[in-house]
A and B are shown apart, each in its own frame.
Chain A
């Protein structure tokens, strides 16, 4: 899992509650990403950030929010507006080497609804 740390590993959300997933990296990467993975499915991009204090919506941003106040950190908040939050959430970071752009992933957070 390289230098990407996601916490917690398991998270439970009650109805109407906002929860925040943590993602920290020590790889000095500028870009960071959040993906959602449903059982037996591929990864869908929620949000990404290519530089501090800037982030962009991905393909399924509704019901989620992010911040990027520090280069090392890119937390994801699953809001109460996300009606089907149960999934496996993956955070990744990416360096800027020309022609490379390899992503390094954390171990994931599994979110369930109580």
Chain B
């Protein structure tokens, strides 16, 4: 399957530190998207990186994509307690289908 696999499964840091989450996938993609899920809520889109891009920034978010390694990373800089959530990557196939892994649970301690 095209499922994105996030790593680590859980990450615990202090406020102000940076958080890095990784994603691996199996086949060619059109783009890769990162989503955030607060406990008991739906997913919210954070950032999209196209297959021909290597890096993208949005506020405190930085995403990289290495298509040769079929991997992506999401960096959250200067984390805040409000960043506590689960983060999912979604590789988009050429058929327009997103698939998600188990996610990374990020806990930011005040």
A residues apposed to B, CB below 8 Å: 1, 4, 6, 31, 35, 40-43, 45, 48, 50, 59, 88, 90, 92, 94, 99-108, 110
Contact = CB atoms under 8 A, between A and B. Distances in A.
Contacts of B41: 1, 107-108
A42 B42 contact: no
B49 to A, nearest CB: 11
A59 B2 CA distance: 11
A88 B39 CA distance: 11
Given A59-B1, A99-B30, A101-B98, A42 B45 contact: no
A102 B19 CA distance: 24
A99 B50 contact: yes
A94 B96 CA distance: 10
Contact of A42 (B31, B48, B96, B100): B100
Contacts of B35: 103
A59 B97 CA distance: 12
